[in-house]
Protein backbone atom coordinates (compact mmCIF):
# COMPACT_ATOMS: atom_id res chain seq x y z
CA UNK A 1 0.00 0.00 0.00
CA UNK A 2 1.41 3.38 -0.96
CA UNK A 3 0.80 6.51 1.12
CA UNK A 4 2.40 9.94 1.28
CA UNK A 5 4.42 8.85 4.33
CA UNK A 6 5.32 5.62 6.09
CA UNK A 7 3.00 4.67 8.92
CA UNK A 8 4.71 2.19 11.28
CA UNK A 9 1.42 0.97 12.77
CA UNK A 10 0.49 -0.57 9.41
CA UNK A 11 3.53 -2.82 9.74
CA UNK A 12 2.67 -3.61 13.36
CA UNK A 13 -1.06 -4.32 13.21
CA UNK A 14 -0.70 -6.86 16.02
CA UNK A 15 -0.21 -3.85 18.34
CA UNK A 16 -3.37 -2.08 17.15
CA UNK A 17 -6.41 -2.54 19.41
CA UNK A 18 -10.05 -2.48 18.35
CA UNK A 19 -11.73 -0.03 20.73
CA UNK A 20 -15.07 -1.67 19.96
CA UNK A 21 -14.33 -5.26 21.02
CA UNK A 22 -10.71 -5.01 22.30
CA UNK A 23 -9.45 -7.56 19.79
CA UNK A 24 -6.40 -7.22 17.54
CA UNK A 25 -7.18 -9.45 14.56
CA UNK A 26 -7.09 -7.09 11.57
CA UNK A 27 -7.72 -7.25 7.81
CA UNK A 28 -6.04 -4.48 5.84
CA UNK A 29 -6.98 -2.77 2.57
CA UNK A 30 -5.89 0.47 0.96
CA UNK A 31 -8.74 2.42 2.57
CA UNK A 32 -9.14 0.86 6.01
CA UNK A 33 -8.17 -1.79 8.53
CA UNK A 34 -11.04 -4.07 9.56
CA UNK A 35 -11.41 -5.95 12.84
CA UNK A 36 -11.77 -9.64 12.04
CA UNK A 37 -13.85 -10.25 15.16
CA UNK A 38 -16.50 -7.46 15.19
CA UNK A 39 -15.98 -5.87 11.74
CA UNK A 40 -15.24 -2.49 13.31
CA UNK A 41 -13.37 -0.32 10.81
CA UNK A 42 -10.53 2.17 11.15
CA UNK A 43 -10.26 4.42 8.11
CA UNK A 44 -6.87 5.07 6.53
CA UNK A 45 -6.77 8.67 5.31
CA UNK A 46 -5.24 9.74 2.01
CA UNK A 47 -2.14 10.86 3.89
CA UNK A 48 -1.76 7.42 5.48
CA UNK A 49 -3.05 8.18 8.98
CA UNK A 50 -5.19 5.63 10.81
CA UNK A 51 -8.34 7.30 12.21
CA UNK A 52 -9.63 5.54 15.31
CA UNK A 53 -12.04 8.32 16.35
CA UNK A 54 -14.60 10.25 14.32
CA UNK A 55 -14.50 13.45 16.35
CA UNK A 56 -10.95 14.67 16.04
CA UNK A 57 -9.20 18.00 15.57
CA UNK A 58 -9.26 18.97 11.93
CA UNK A 59 -6.91 21.95 12.22
CA UNK A 60 -3.38 21.48 10.96
CA UNK A 61 -1.92 23.18 14.04
CA UNK A 62 -2.86 22.78 17.73
CA UNK A 63 -2.53 26.55 18.34
CA UNK A 64 -5.41 27.28 15.97
CA UNK A 65 -7.77 25.29 18.22
CA UNK A 66 -7.37 27.80 21.06
CA UNK A 67 -9.80 30.28 19.45
CA UNK A 68 -7.70 33.33 20.16
CA UNK A 69 -6.79 32.59 23.81
CA UNK A 70 -3.17 33.69 23.97
CA UNK A 71 -1.66 35.65 26.86
CA UNK A 72 1.47 36.45 24.86
CA UNK A 73 -0.36 37.88 21.80
CA UNK A 74 2.23 38.54 19.12
CA UNK A 75 5.25 37.77 21.28
CA UNK A 76 4.62 34.03 21.55
CA UNK A 77 8.32 33.17 21.88
CA UNK A 78 9.85 35.58 24.42
CA UNK A 79 12.65 33.09 25.10
CA UNK A 80 14.76 32.47 22.03
CA UNK A 81 17.15 30.00 23.67
CA UNK A 82 15.88 26.42 23.74
CA UNK A 83 17.23 25.52 27.18
CA UNK A 84 15.75 22.20 28.27
CA UNK A 85 16.71 20.10 31.28
CA UNK A 86 16.59 16.33 31.50
CA UNK A 87 16.62 13.87 28.61
CA UNK A 88 15.41 14.84 25.15
CA UNK A 89 12.64 12.70 23.70
CA UNK A 90 14.66 12.30 20.51
CA UNK A 91 17.45 10.63 22.53
CA UNK A 92 15.37 8.42 24.84
CA UNK A 93 15.43 5.29 22.68
CA UNK A 94 19.22 5.41 22.54
CA UNK A 95 19.69 6.32 26.21
CA UNK A 96 17.39 3.53 27.40
CA UNK A 97 18.44 1.03 24.70
CA UNK A 98 14.84 0.63 23.54
CA UNK A 99 14.37 -1.71 20.60
CA UNK A 100 10.60 -2.23 20.80
CA UNK A 101 7.63 -0.02 20.00
CA UNK A 102 7.96 3.60 21.16
CA UNK A 103 5.01 5.99 21.26
CA UNK A 104 4.94 9.78 21.38
CA UNK A 105 1.55 10.42 22.98
CA UNK A 106 0.30 13.85 21.98
CA UNK A 107 3.05 14.34 19.43
CA UNK A 108 1.57 17.44 17.78
CA UNK A 109 4.01 18.69 15.17
CA UNK A 110 6.96 16.72 16.60
CA UNK A 111 8.39 13.80 14.68
CA UNK A 112 11.24 11.84 16.25
CA UNK A 113 12.91 8.87 14.59
CA UNK A 114 11.64 5.51 15.83
CA UNK A 115 8.41 6.81 17.41
CA UNK A 116 4.79 6.07 16.57
CA UNK A 117 2.99 9.42 16.79
CA UNK A 118 -0.47 9.50 18.38
CA UNK A 119 -2.63 12.61 18.67
CA UNK A 120 -6.24 13.73 18.55
CA UNK A 121 -5.34 16.17 15.78
CA UNK A 122 -4.80 15.61 12.07
CA UNK A 123 -1.29 17.05 12.19
CA UNK A 124 1.25 16.17 9.51
CA UNK A 125 3.53 13.79 11.46
CA UNK A 126 0.71 11.92 13.24
CA UNK A 127 0.36 8.19 12.47
CA UNK A 128 -2.70 7.32 14.57
CA UNK A 129 -5.49 9.78 15.41
CA UNK A 130 -6.83 8.65 18.77
CA UNK A 131 -8.60 9.51 21.99
CA UNK A 132 -6.07 9.11 24.80
CA UNK A 133 -8.70 8.04 27.31
CA UNK A 134 -9.05 4.89 25.18
CA UNK A 135 -5.76 4.32 23.40
CA UNK A 136 -6.09 1.89 20.45
CA UNK A 137 -3.02 -0.16 21.37
CA UNK A 138 -2.82 -3.66 22.83
CA UNK A 139 -2.05 -4.23 26.51
CA UNK A 140 1.69 -4.15 27.28
CA UNK A 141 2.66 -3.60 23.65
CA UNK A 142 4.80 -0.47 24.09
CA UNK A 143 8.34 -0.39 25.45
CA UNK A 144 8.58 3.42 25.71
CA UNK A 145 5.87 6.06 26.11
CA UNK A 146 6.79 9.74 25.88
CA UNK A 147 4.14 12.28 26.84
CA UNK A 148 5.29 15.90 26.82
CA UNK A 149 3.01 18.73 28.04
CA UNK A 150 -0.19 16.88 27.16
CA UNK A 151 -1.99 15.93 30.38
CA UNK A 152 -2.85 19.53 31.28
CA UNK A 153 -5.03 19.73 28.15
CA UNK A 154 -7.13 16.67 29.05
CA UNK A 155 -9.70 17.13 31.81
CA UNK A 156 -9.96 13.37 32.53
CA UNK A 157 -6.19 12.97 32.75
CA UNK A 158 -6.41 10.08 35.24
CA UNK A 159 -7.98 7.93 32.51
CA UNK A 160 -5.01 8.72 30.28
CA UNK A 161 -2.54 7.69 33.00
CA UNK A 162 -4.40 4.38 33.39
CA UNK A 163 -4.23 3.84 29.63
CA UNK A 164 -0.51 4.63 29.57
CA UNK A 165 -0.01 2.07 32.33
CA UNK A 166 -2.06 -0.52 30.43
CA UNK A 167 -0.15 -0.26 27.14
CA UNK A 168 3.35 -0.12 28.67
CA UNK A 169 5.25 -3.39 28.96
CA UNK A 170 6.62 -4.56 32.29
CA UNK A 171 10.13 -3.19 32.33
CA UNK A 172 9.12 -0.55 29.81
CA UNK A 173 9.70 3.17 30.26
CA UNK A 174 7.65 6.33 30.65
CA UNK A 175 8.81 9.90 30.13
CA UNK A 176 6.13 12.27 31.43
CA UNK A 177 6.47 16.06 31.39
CA UNK A 178 3.83 18.41 32.86
CA UNK A 179 3.55 22.13 33.72
CA UNK A 180 4.00 23.55 37.20
CA UNK A 181 4.69 27.33 37.15
CA UNK A 182 3.32 27.77 33.65
CA UNK A 183 0.84 30.41 32.54
CA UNK A 184 -2.39 29.21 31.02
CA UNK A 185 -1.39 28.77 27.40
CA UNK A 186 -4.44 27.39 25.62
CA UNK A 187 -8.23 27.42 25.73
CA UNK A 188 -8.12 23.74 26.76
CA UNK A 189 -5.71 23.99 29.68
CA UNK A 190 -6.96 22.52 32.97
CA UNK A 191 -4.25 21.24 35.33
CA UNK A 192 -0.90 21.87 37.03
CA UNK A 193 1.29 19.52 39.13
CA UNK A 194 3.99 19.81 41.76
CA UNK A 195 6.86 17.30 41.67
CA UNK A 196 5.18 15.37 44.50
CA UNK A 197 1.89 15.33 42.59
CA UNK A 198 3.56 14.19 39.38
CA UNK A 199 5.31 11.31 41.12
CA UNK A 200 2.06 10.33 42.82
CA UNK A 201 0.48 9.92 39.37
CA UNK A 202 2.79 7.08 38.41
CA UNK A 203 4.48 5.63 41.50
CA UNK A 204 1.87 2.91 42.07
CA UNK A 205 2.88 1.11 38.87
CA UNK A 206 6.25 2.64 37.98
CA UNK A 207 9.61 3.10 39.68
CA UNK A 208 10.92 6.66 39.34
CA UNK A 209 14.38 6.60 37.75
CA UNK A 210 14.88 10.36 37.73
CA UNK A 211 12.99 13.62 37.94
CA UNK A 212 13.81 17.24 37.34
CA UNK A 213 12.98 20.55 35.72
CA UNK A 214 12.42 20.42 31.99
CA UNK A 215 12.03 24.17 31.58
CA UNK A 216 13.45 25.91 34.63
CA UNK A 217 13.01 29.09 36.63
CA UNK A 218 13.94 31.36 33.73
CA UNK A 219 11.01 30.16 31.65
CA UNK A 220 8.61 30.76 34.54
CA UNK A 221 9.75 34.30 35.33
CA UNK A 222 10.32 35.48 31.77
CA UNK A 223 7.00 34.22 30.42
CA UNK A 224 4.98 35.57 33.36
CA UNK A 225 6.38 39.11 33.05
CA UNK A 226 6.09 39.02 29.28
CA UNK A 227 2.44 37.96 29.51
CA UNK A 228 1.71 40.62 32.13
CA UNK A 229 3.19 43.33 29.88
CA UNK A 230 1.13 42.09 26.94
CA UNK A 231 -2.03 42.11 29.05
CA UNK A 232 -1.54 45.55 30.63
CA UNK A 233 0.32 47.73 28.10
CA UNK A 234 -2.17 48.69 25.40
CA UNK A 235 -0.04 51.07 23.33
CA UNK A 236 1.64 49.07 20.55
CA UNK A 237 4.88 51.08 20.49
CA UNK A 238 5.19 51.13 24.28
CA UNK A 239 4.56 47.37 24.40
CA UNK A 240 7.28 46.74 21.81
CA UNK A 241 9.74 48.82 23.86
CA UNK A 242 8.78 47.05 27.10
CA UNK A 243 9.25 43.63 25.53
CA UNK A 244 12.70 44.56 24.25
CA UNK A 245 13.81 46.03 27.58
CA UNK A 246 12.55 42.95 29.45
CA UNK A 247 14.34 40.66 27.02
CA UNK A 248 17.65 42.39 27.85
CA UNK A 249 17.02 42.55 31.61
CA UNK A 250 15.86 38.94 31.81
CA UNK A 251 18.72 37.39 29.85
CA UNK A 252 20.85 36.65 32.99
CA UNK A 253 18.00 34.43 34.22
CA UNK A 254 18.86 32.01 31.42
CA UNK A 255 22.31 31.57 32.97
CA UNK A 256 20.83 30.03 36.12
CA UNK A 257 21.92 26.41 36.41
CA UNK A 258 19.05 23.93 36.44
CA UNK A 259 19.18 21.70 39.52
CA UNK A 260 17.45 18.35 40.00
CA UNK A 261 16.44 18.85 43.65
CA UNK A 262 12.78 19.29 44.61
CA UNK A 263 13.28 22.84 45.88
CA UNK A 264 14.37 23.98 42.43
CA UNK A 265 11.64 21.93 40.76
CA UNK A 266 9.08 23.84 42.84
CA UNK A 267 10.06 26.99 40.92
CA UNK A 268 10.26 25.43 37.46
CA UNK A 269 8.02 26.07 34.49
CA UNK A 270 7.67 22.39 33.57
CA UNK A 271 8.85 19.25 35.34
CA UNK A 272 9.36 15.63 34.28
CA UNK A 273 9.77 12.10 35.53
CA UNK A 274 11.47 9.19 33.82
CA UNK A 275 10.10 5.93 35.18
CA UNK A 276 10.23 2.17 34.63
CA UNK A 277 7.12 -0.02 34.87
CA UNK A 278 7.16 -2.54 37.70
Average pLDDT over residues 72-94: 84
Question: For residue 208, what is the domain's CATH number?
Answer: 3.40.50.150
- Domain ranges, residue 206: 52-69+82-215+263-277
The tens digit of pLDDT for each residue in 101-119 reads 999 999 988 999 999 999 9
58 and 19 both lie in a single domain = no
98 and 208 both lie in a single domain = yes
The tens digit of pLDDT for each residue in 57-69 reads 776 666 666 666 7
Give the integer Cα–Cα distance in Å for 213 and 127.
29
Which residue, among 202, 200, 198, has the nearest Cα to 214 in the 3D structure?
198
Give the integer Cα–Cα distance in Å for 217 and 224.
11
Average pLDDT over residues 115-144: 95
Number of separate domains in the chain: 2
What mean pLDDT is reported for the chain? 91
Average pLDDT over residues 79-98: 90
Give start and end residues of each alpha helix (H) in 75-156: 89-95
Q: Is the dihedral of CA 89, 93, 98, 100 positive or negative?
A: positive
> Which residues neighbour 39 within 8 Å (Cβ) at sequence distance 6 or greater?
none
pLDDT of 257 over the 70 cut: yes
Query: Residue 92: what pLDDT?
Result: 97
Beta-bridge mates of residue 27: 34
Average pLDDT over residues 203-222: 94
The tens digit of pLDDT for each residue in 165-197 reads 999 999 999 999 999 999 998 888 999 999 999
105 and 123 both lie in a single domain = yes
32 and 58 both lie in a single domain = no
What are the angstrom distances between the C-alpha of 270 and each of 28, 122, 218, 240, 244?
Answer: 41, 26, 11, 27, 25
Amino acid sequence: MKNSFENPILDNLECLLCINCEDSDWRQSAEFVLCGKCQHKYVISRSGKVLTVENHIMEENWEKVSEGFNLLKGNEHPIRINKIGGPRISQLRKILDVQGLSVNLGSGQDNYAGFLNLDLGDYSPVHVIADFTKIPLVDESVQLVACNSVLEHIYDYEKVVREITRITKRGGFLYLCVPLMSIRHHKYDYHRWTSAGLKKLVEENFTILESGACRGVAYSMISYIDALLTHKVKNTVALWVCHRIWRILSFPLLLIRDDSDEEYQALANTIYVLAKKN
